[in-house]
Structure 1
Amino acid sequence: MDLSIVVPLINEDESLPELCSWIESVVTQNGFSYEVILVDDGSTDNSWDFIEKKGRENANFKGIKFQRNYGKSAALNEGFKASKGDVIITMDADMQDSPDEIPELYRMIRHEGFDMVSGWKKKRYDNALTKNLPSKLFNAAARWSSGIQLHDFNCGLKSYRRKVVKSIEVYGEMHRYIPILAKWSGFRKIGEKVVEHRPRKYGVTKFGWQRFVNGFLDLATIMFLGKFGKRPMQFFGLLGTLFFIIGFVSSAYLIAAKFVTEDFSLTNRPSFYIALTTMIIGMQLFLTGFIAELVTRNAPERNSYLIEARSGMQL
């Protein structure tokens, strides 16, 4: 199968008929063998009724329905697991992503050799304060921390080589940082394409300020797991050792000063208590590293690694 199109959605019964008709027209004109996976993230409107109806009309349209709302990342993760195409394209269901971008996104994966291509909504129609400003902050933080020079990490319109989506797990709010997950999984050829951003035609935005905070927390999680997920002692142990040494040296200096100077009082000096606290924090961080190592060593996937190819071996 050439193409899988994964569309996460919640309460989009107004936009789905037009979106599905448009997708169907584009893929038919380009002669793709395809499937469209519509993931209903706990809709309370008639979205699922339409998905079932569309599936009866065209077997290429398939649906997954969550019992409740889990979020966009969960919807994408389930869509990725179900996808069978050589190229996987994701897009939002609110009609702000144009299906006309599908052929070029497909071509960049199949013929230019990209592992994934992220859309860039260079001209946006969102509210500047509630969406554009948070988006700029997210993108700047993601570029700085990951080294991936994309303008729009959060664009829902992306295309992937099949192996990419089968190698990553998306949860929380991590759909914003799929390029980073892909990079940590060893996929380095990440491209970008300017795509059309259309004004919202149906419904209301699902964006909230809570996602703004959660997005930064998930970014910190990704960066930590990517670097220290299989060796947490190297992070906590290093910090713990530094804190302990600083506290120990400071305490030793103050204690030595006590013996040299007769009127020197340790208990009246805040620096002494700060030094002791620093030593305690250092020991706690060190013990955290040990505990994290024990958890990691006993995890079922502790020795699970992504292997690209084998030669001359039978499994």
Structure 2
Amino acid sequence: MDISIVVPLLNEEESLQELHDWIAKVMQSNRFSYELIFIDDGSDDRSWAIIESLSKSNPSVKGLRFQRNYGKSQALNAAFKKAAGDVVITMDADLQDSPDEIPELYELIRKEGYDLVSGWKKKRYDSKLRKNLPSKLFNAAARKTSGLELHDFNCGLKAYKNDVIKNINVSGEMHRYIPVLAKNAGYHKIGEKVVIHQARKYGTTKFGMDRFINGFLDLITINFLTKFGKRPMHLFGLLGTIVFIFGFLASTLIGISKLVKLYRNEPAILITDNPWFYIALTCMILGSQLFLAGFLGELILRSKSEPKRYSISDKINI
């Protein structure tokens, strides 16, 4: 199979038929063999009924339906496990991503040898204050911390080699950072393509301003996990040791100073009246706690099992 097209959605009943027809037209005109996987992330409108109807007229249409809303990352992760195409294309269901971009994205993966190609919505039709400006700040921070020179990390239109999506695990709200996850998994030929961004035709956006706050928090998380996710003792153990040694040396110096003054019969204040005593005691306690946190992190890492992050209620052609 040439292409798997993955479309996560939430309450997009107005756009599904038009999106399907557009994708089918592009696939047929380019003679691609394909599957179109819709992932209904707990919609409460007629989205799933429309997907069922589309699957009856087009056997290439497949569907997964979540029991409730679990989030875009979980939807993508579920679809990635099922995708069988040599090239996997992800796109949003709101018609803001153009299926006409698919052939060029496919060629970049198959002919140019890219592992991943991310779309760049250079000209946007979003509100500048609500989405455009925060998006630029978010992308600048992501570039700085990840080392990937991409302009639009959060663009839903992306293309992947099948091997890439089978070797990354998208959880939480990490869909924004799939290029970073791919890079951390050892895939370094990551490119970017300017894509058309269209104004939303139906409904309203499902994302609010909180997604940018969550995005920055996720960025901190993914950078921590990249460096220390597999070796927490290297961070917490090191910090704990340094802080404990500082406290221990400070307490030792306080004790020696007290003994010297007693030996010389000089007046000396009580150790508990010395503020450095409490600083040293606090440092030793914190150091011990940090060290134990790293140790417990290592134990949990080695004994954990993969948690169930979503529940599928219905399937179509899968």
Q: Normalising to structure 2: TM-score of the pair?
A: 0.90
Q: How many residues align?
A: 301
Aligned to 2:303: 298
Q: Which stretch of the first structure deviates more once superposed, 250-259 or 238-247?
A: 250-259
Q: Which stretch of the first structure deviates more once superposed, 286-295 or 37-46?
A: 286-295
Q: Which stretch of the first structure deviates more once superposed, 283-292 or 241-250?
A: 241-250
- Conserved? CA contact 2:239–2:287, under 8 Å: yes
Please give the root-mean-square deviation of Cα atoms over the aligned residues, in Å: 1.7
Measure how far apart 1:30 and its partner are: 0.9
Measure how far apart 1:157 and its partner are: 0.4
Task: Identify if the C-alpha distance between structure 1 residues 194 and 252 changes in structure 2 by more than 3 Å, giving closer, same or farther.
Answer: same
Cα deviation 1:180-200 (Å, max 9, x = unaligned):
111111111110111111111
- Cα distance in 2 for residues equivalent to 1:15 and 1:300: 39
Q: Which stretch of the first structure deviates more once superposed, 10-19 or 262-271?
A: 262-271
Aligned to 2:185: 185
Task: Identify if the C-alpha distance between structure 1 residues 147 and 14 changes in structure 2 by more than 3 Å, giving closer, same or farther.
Answer: same
- Cα distance in 2 for residues equivalent to 1:139 and 1:272: 46
Q: Which stretch of the first structure deviates more once superposed, 168-177 or 219-228?
A: 219-228
- Conserved? CA contact 1:54–1:61, under 8 Å: yes
Cα deviation 1:154-198 (Å, max 9, x = unaligned):
110000000000001111110000011111111111101111111
- Cα distance in 2 for residues equivalent to 1:186 and 1:258: 57
Larger Rg: 2
Cα deviation 1:204-235 (Å, max 9, x = unaligned):
11112332232233223322222222222111
Q: Which stretch of the first structure deviates more once superposed, 177-186 or 217-226?
A: 217-226
User: Tell me, what secondary structure is at the counterpart of 1:245?
Assistant: helix
Aligned to 1:239: 239
Aligned to 2:92: 92
Quick one: which amino acid aligns to residue 294 of structure 2? G
Q: How does 1:42-121 map to 2 (within 5 A)?
A: 42-121=42-121
- Cα distance in 2 for residues equivalent to 1:129 and 1:214: 18
- Conserved? CA contact 1:131–1:207, under 8 Å: no
- Cα distance in 2 for residues equivalent to 1:253 and 1:166: 57
Measure how far apart 1:259 and its partner are: 4.3
- Cα distance in 2 for residues equivalent to 1:238 and 1:99: 50
Aligned to 2:156: 156
Measure how far apart 1:241 and its partner are: 1.0
- Cα distance in 2 for residues equivalent to 1:202 and 1:74: 24
Q: How does 1:115-154 map to 2 (within 5 A)?
A: 115-154=115-154
Fraction of identical pairs, as percent: 65
Corresponding position: 1:226 with 2:226: yes
User: Tell me, what secondary structure is at the counterpart of 1:64?
Assistant: strand
Runs of 4+ in 1 over 6 A off after TM superposition: none
- Cα distance in 1 for residues equivalent to 2:156 and 2:27: 19
- Conserved? CA contact 2:131–2:209, under 8 Å: no
Task: Identify if the C-alpha distance between structure 1 residues 128 and 278 changes in structure 2 by more than 3 Å, giving closer, same or farther.
Answer: farther
Higher relative contact order (CA 8 A, sep 6+): 2
Cα deviation 1:244-288 (Å, max 9, x = unaligned):
122222333334444456344543444432232122111111111
Q: Normalising to structure 1: TM-score of the pair?
A: 0.90
